[in-house]
Structure formats: C-alpha cells, structure tokens
C-alpha cells in the first residue's frame, strides 16, 4: 500500500553524512614557519630551483627578489644579497595557499644552476627568517594540510626512492592519485550500500525489508572483484629485494657473471682462485622487482682458515636465499654439495662445446638439479635470458596502465577489505541479520579508509611516523 521511499533518497535527504560521515572533511591550510630548500639535485645544471613554503614565503621572496607579481605566473626578478648586490637573475613564481603543493604559500626561484648561487640564496632566505627544510618536509606539509592523502604521500617517498623507470612510473601514477582515485571510487560505492543498510535499521518506520537488496549485493560483489584484482596484481615483495646467491667452485666465473648481470664492474675478477672471500651484494631492479644478488667465495674441499670461513658463510647465505644458483664451469665441473637446494647454471658458455653441454645437462638431470641455462660473461650469451627467466612469475602479468600496489601496508588493508566484504556477501546469502552484514561492510570500508589515511589507528600512525622521519 505504501511505496517505501527510496532509501538512497532517504539517506541523502535525511543526512547522508549522519549515516556515513567520512573522517576527513576538508583540507586545512597549513601556515607555520617558513622552510626553504633547493628542489633540484645539487651540482652544475642549467637551472636550479629553490623553493620556499610557509607563512612568510612571499614576504621573504619579496625581500630576496623584489617585484610585483601575479599568482601562479612566472616573473623575472633580480635576487640580491643583504648589501643589495646582485646574486642572480631569476624567474620567480608565487603560489598562494591553499592551492599549492604544500597547501601553504609557496614561492619557487628558478636560478642559474650554480652551486654557489643556490647556497647564497638559501643562506639569504634563512637570514630573512626561513629555515632549511628537513628531508621530505615539503611533502609532509602537503600531507598534513590534506593536500595529499596517505597513498599519495607514500608515493612521493617511492618516487624519491625509485631506482628504475618502471618503479618511477608506478610511483608517479600513484602520486597522480590513481590508486586513491580507484579506491576512493570503490569506497563511495560501498558507502552507498552501507548507508542503505544502516537506514534499514535506523529508520524502521519506513518498512524497507530487513536485508540488502539484490542490487546492493551486486555492487558489493563488483567492489570485491576489483579489490581482488588489485590484491592479485600487488607486488608487496617488490619493495623487498629478492635475494639470489651465486656459488660454486673457485674460478668458474661467478664474479664475472654478476658483473655481466648488473652491467657494472662491482666485483673484482681475477684469474687467481680465491679472489672473493666475503659475500658481496649487488642490488639491482628488474621491472618492479628489486634483486639483491650475492657473490661468494668459491667452494674448495681442502680450504682452511679464513677461506673455509668464507665458504661456510657462502653456504649459509645460499640456504637463506630466495634462490641459490650454483655456477659450473664446463671444463672441470664441480657439483653442489648434498643437501642444499640449488639451481645450476653453466658458466663460460663460450668454452662449452655442444656435446659438453648435452653431457652436463644430462648429468644435472640425473642429480635432480634444475638447469637454468648457459651463460658467458665474456660474450654476453645467455645473460639476458637468465635475468628474464629469474624475473618470470614475479613480474610478467602487469600490463601498462595497471595499478600495482607495492606497499606492504596497502596490500594488507586491501586484503582485509576483501576478506570483510566477502564475509558480508556470504552472510547476506546465508540470511544473516542486517546488523552483522552491515558490520562486515563497515569493516571493509574502514580498511579502505585506513588505506587512504581517512581512518587512523595506531598502526597507520606508526607507518606515517616511520616514513616521514617526523620528530627529527
């Protein structure tokens, strides 16, 4: 007889924010002391940028380089020292808060790229009341003022720490807000469902049925599917290096292989056996994956003293590694000791005849050892193949444009969200009462809120704390 009001309308009209009030409402402008720092890498480049941020940024900039300036427009100005002597001819742009990187008043001075000029300008700014920024402080201010959410702030740190193009692209995408946009959109959809669920018990006088509608169950299922995609593509381990240990008899070419692999001359190579004593680490990145590859002392049964200790260490490393690679020389093959899990690679491939290769591969199979291929540090044969072979299964299903979550913290929140939402779906199917279904939906939404830094708990704070060196 009575048409039930659309609960969405009810939720909107009667205060949707009561049913779902996001923890973060509006950005707050930060206005504290003024910080200054070069924004470009030190050294001689064509241009160097010095950035000021804070309450007095514009006042200090005026004292440094006077002139009438429009907001967000580049102006030419002369930068002068305390005596009025010219330091440099600069381009100056003022960005009043809150629409600036930090949310505060920001001024950038584009100077000629001389270290001396930059130092003088920074010193002059400090004399005028600014102080040199702590590492990451501009980002911290952007984050404090609400200009950035947690995932974006984390991305800034990742951009600074990125060691290759792929990582940089990933971090940049996140900085551009790709992840928070995606999560934010999912959260909005979820909040609609939560609001409807809550309305069903907070407004029982509108007889609306006692559970989630089929349409809402569908929405939750879609959200779960998307989140699950993010979890599946996630590479939390990419933040941690995968360790590979190269070991084998002396002089088989382990150190040479490592150099060829990393494209550097990091490790000393010599004809004389026993050159490498302590394990040596070389870090490198492959796609999103970081590798830490160890070169070790060569195995010799008759080794004593220092050399024997080096070998023991190498074994220990090999046991703890994600992957232990035994290098074998074709002329006098030495096989790995019993009881250690290793894959074998044939070294000095340029010296291995076809029949020799066949023989050794068959021998490896007989011993139950996986064969990784032949490589030659001298000719470069097989090195690229070995690299891509090791990366496979770790990094091959990421397509361009995909969002790849690499932070352990973010992945953990995503997992928790998926788990809670799947529970909500199964509860809903099993006919559980709407109060518990909504509680599961909320647990999922809270996890996403924590991911974005909208809901805060002690763990989120600790993360922020660790990343931003707050309190230094």
Partner 1 sequence: MTLDVIVVGAGHAGCEAALAASRLGARVGLVTLRADRIAQMSCNPAIGGVAKGHVVREIDALGGAMAKVADATGIQFRRLNTSRGPAVRSTRAQSDAALYRSAMTDVIASAPGVTVIEDEVVDLTSVDGRVTGVSLSRGGSLACRAVIITTGTFLNGLCHVGSEQFTGGRVGDAAALRLSSALTRLGVALGRFKTGTTPRLAADSIAWDRLEVQHGDEPRPRFSFDQVPSTLPQVPCHITHTDAATHAVIRSGLDRSPLYCGTIVGRGPRYCPSLEDKIVRFSDKESHQIFLEPEGLSSDRVYPNGLSTSLPKDVQDAFLRTIPGLEHARVLQYGYAVEYDYAQPTQLDARLMVKCALGLFLAGQINGTSGYEEAAAQGLMAGLNAVRWLGGEAPAVLGRDQAYIGVLIDDLVTKGVDEPYRLFTSRSEHRLTLRETNAEERLWQVADGWRLLSSERREAAARREAERSSLRAALAERVVDAPLAASLALSIPALTNIQGQRLADVIRRPEADPEVVMRAAALSATTDTVQLVDEDIKYAGYIAREAKQIERMRELEAFRLPASMTYLNAPGLSREVQEKLASVQPLSLGQASRIPGMTPAALALLRVHAHRAGAES
Ligand X SMILES: Nc1nc2c(ncn2[C@@H]2O[C@H](COP(=O)(O)OP(=O)(O)O)[C@@H](O)[C@H]2O)c(=O)[nH]1
Binding site for ligand X (CB under 6 A): 250-256, 269-271, 275-276, 298, 347-348, 350-351, 376-378
Report the sign of the C-alpha dihedral through residues 370, 373, 374, 377, in that order: negative
Among 17, 398, 36, 16, which Cα is nearest to 232's? 398
Restricted to residues 50-79, the positions that interact with partner 1 (CB under 8 A) are 55
Query: Which does residue 256 bind out of ligand X, partner 1, Mg ion, none, counting CB within 5 to 8 angstroms by kind?
Result: ligand X
In the complex with Mg ion, which residue's Cβ is closer, 35 or 377?
Answer: 377
For residue 191, give the nearest of 464, 461, 455, 460 by alpha carbon: 455
Among 276, 289, 410, 440, binds Mg ion (CB under 5 A): 276
Q: Which of 175, 231, 282, 464 binds partner 1 (CB under 8 A)?
A: 464
Residues 6+ apart with CB under 8 A from 426: none
Q: What is the CA radius of gyration of the chain?
A: 30
Residue among 205 and 265 whose Cβ is closer to partner 1: 205
**Looking at beta carbons only, is 131 or 277 nearer to ligand X?**
277
Closest approach of Cβ 276 to Mg ion, in Å? 3
Q: How many residues does the chain have?
A: 472
Q: How far is CA 112 from CA 73, 82, 117, in A?
A: 19, 19, 7
Who's near 126: CB < 8 A, 6+ residues apart?
A: 36, 132
Cis peptide before 98 (omega within 30 of 0): yes
Residue 32 contact partner, candidates ligand X, Mg ion, partner 1, none, CB within 5 to 8 A by sort of partner: partner 1
Q: Which two tokens stand for residue 274?
A: 């026993």
Strands 75-80 and 86-95: antiparallel
* Cβ 109 to partner 1 shortest distance, Å: 24
Q: Which of 93, 140, 344, 414 binds partner 1 (CB under 8 A)?
A: 140
Residue number, 12 or 395, with CB nearest to partner 1: 12
Write phi, then psi, for 289 (nearest 5 degrees): -95, 135
Distance in Å, CB of 302 to ligand X, minimum: 16
Asked if 160 touches partner 1 (CB under 8 A), the answer is no
Return the residue of 102, 255, 259, 376 that touches Mg ion, per CB under 5 A.
255
Among the listed ranges 15-23, 57-65, 76-84, 160-168, the one in contact with partner 1 (CB under 8 A) is: 15-23
Strand 280-286 to 289-295 pairing = antiparallel
Q: Which two tokens stand for residue 464?
A: 């922020």
Give me the residue label for tokens 């490896």.
364
Nearest-CB residue to ligand X?
253
Closest approach, Cβ 415 to ligand X, in A, equals 42
Q: Find where tokens 């590479």 sit.
A: 235
* Alpha carbons 217 and 283: distance in angstroms, whole number: 47
In the complex, minimum distance from the CB of residue 274 to ligand X, in angstroms, rounded to a whole number: 8
User: Looking at 8, 25, 165, 176, which residue binds partner 1 (CB under 8 A)?
Assistant: 25
Q: Which is nearer to Mg ion, 255 or 428 (CB)?
A: 255
Residue 26, by phi and psi: left (phi above 0), alpha (psi -120 to 50) or beta?
Answer: beta
CA distance 102 to 27: 11
Q: Where do contacts with Mg ion occur on this chain (CB under 5 A)?
A: 255, 275-276
Q: Where do contacts with partner 1 occur on this chain (CB under 8 A)?
A: 1-3, 5, 9, 13-15, 18-20, 23-32, 55, 103, 140, 143-146, 150, 153, 198, 200-206, 210, 432-436, 438-439, 442-443, 446, 453, 456-461, 464-465, 468, 470-471
């Amino acid at each position: 007889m009575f048409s039930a009001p659309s609960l969405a309308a009810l939720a909107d009209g009667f205060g949707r924010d009561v049913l779902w009030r996001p923890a973060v409402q509006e950005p707050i402008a930060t206005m504290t002391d003024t910080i200054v720092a070069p924004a470009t890498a030190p050294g001689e480049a064509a241009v160097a940028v010095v950035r000021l941020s804070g309450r007095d940024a514009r006042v200090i900039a005026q004292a440094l380089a006077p002139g009438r300036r429009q907001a967000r427009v580049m102006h030419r100005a002369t930068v002068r020292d305390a005596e009025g002597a010219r330091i440099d001819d600069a381009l100056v742009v003022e960005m009043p808060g809150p629409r600036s990187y930090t949310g505060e008043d920001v001024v950038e001075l584009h100077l000629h790229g001389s270290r001396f000029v930059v130092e003088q300008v920074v010193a002059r700014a400090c004399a005028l009341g600014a102080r040199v920024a702590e590492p990451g402080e501009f980002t911290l201010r952007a984050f404090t003022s609400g200009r950035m959410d947690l995932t974006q702030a984390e991305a800034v740190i990742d951009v600074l720490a990125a060691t290759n193009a792929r990582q940089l692209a990933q971090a940049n995408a996140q900085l551009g807000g790709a992840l928070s946009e995606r999560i934010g959109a999912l959260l909005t959809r979820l909040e609609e469902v939560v609001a409807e669920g809550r309305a069903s018990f907070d407004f029982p006088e509108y007889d609306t049925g006692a559970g989630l509608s089929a349409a809402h169950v569908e929405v939750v299922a879609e959200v779960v599917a998307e989140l699950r995609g993010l979890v599946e593509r996630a590479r939390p381990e990419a933040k941690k290096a995968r360790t590979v240990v190269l070991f084998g008899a002396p002089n088989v070419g382990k150190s040479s292989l490592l150099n060829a692999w990393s494209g550097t001359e990091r490790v000393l190579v010599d004809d004389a056996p026993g050159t490498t004593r302590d394990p040596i680490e070389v870090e490198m990145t492959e796609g999103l994956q970081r590798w830490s590859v160890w070169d070790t002392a060569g195995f010799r049964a008759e080794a004593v003293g220092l050399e024997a200790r080096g070998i023991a260490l190498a074994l220990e490393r090999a046991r703890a590694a994600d992957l232990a690679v035994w290098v074998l020389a074709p002329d006098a093959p030495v096989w790995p000791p019993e009881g250690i899990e290793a894959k074998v690679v044939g070294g000095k491939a340029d010296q291995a005849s076809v029949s020799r290769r066949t023989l050794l591969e068959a021998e490896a199979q007989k011993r139950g050892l996986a064969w990784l291929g032949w490589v030659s540090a001298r000719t470069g044969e097989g090195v690229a193949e070995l690299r891509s072979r090791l990366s496979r299964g770790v990094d091959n299903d990421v397509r361009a444009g995909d969002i790849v979550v690499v932070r352990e913290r973010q992945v953990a929140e995503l997992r928790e969200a998926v788990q809670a939402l799947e529970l909500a779906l199964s509860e809903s199917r099993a006919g559980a009462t709407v109060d518990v279904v909504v509680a599961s939906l909320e647990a999922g939404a809270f996890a996403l809120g924590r991911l974005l830094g909208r809901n805060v708990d002690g763990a989120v704070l600790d993360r922020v704390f660790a990343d931003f060196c707050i309190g230094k």
